[in-house]
Structure 1
Amino acid sequence: MSLASVRYQKFKRETGYSGEGEVYTNRQFEKPEPKVPWRAIGTATILFCTGSVLITIGALLLSGVLDSQYSDRTWPVLILGFITFLPGIYQLRIAYCAWRGYAGYSFDDIPDYHD
């Protein structure tokens, strides 16, 4: 978007001067409705699911349910599972609480990719 295509609009003068001719309107203090960061929520869902699968496989390897031939991969799988699970569940929790409208949670708290 170029600066030439941006249209500016003057505010109409209203009562309520600050003393030097500046006008304050209620519109400039309104916070816009936050956009839902769908890509970030999708990425968090993928991280959560991948981490859950890796933790499950690591736990099965650790308990011996899966073949002991793969026992050297137990700890790397568990660590990688926790590394992917934790950020995924954290972002999904914020998204769920913002969707439900709990106080202190907003979709603005989730980093977005700025398409």
Structure 2
Amino acid sequence: MTGAMVFALTIEIAGAVLVTWLTWRGADGSLARNSLAGIRTRITMSSELAWRIGHRAALRPTIAAGAITVVWCSASLGLPPLRTPLSVIVAAVVLLGGALLSIPVAHRAVRRSAPGG
């Protein structure tokens, strides 16, 4: 079971890094609108500008969730009593929570930037 937990926690770290990196790239304009990666909602996909604005706004909660996930998983890897399925679930909830929180944050930023918004 220990090997499986190490693998799962390592995958969580990789996921946190990937999500943060993709959001960063969307925010700086190096990840254009696409149907595969990023915050792909009707609002953020409405234009390249909306895409960048939404990702810039989403960067703070994404970085926070990603950092918390990496720290938690690293601690869980370093402390054998924390290498449990619960630790993997906590990491997933934190990362997913950050992703879900970033959506309304992105939407508010895009709406505020619209003329008359």
TM-score scaled by length of structure 1: 0.39
Greater C-alpha radius of gyration = 1
More helix as a share of residues: 2
TM-score scaled by length of structure 2: 0.39
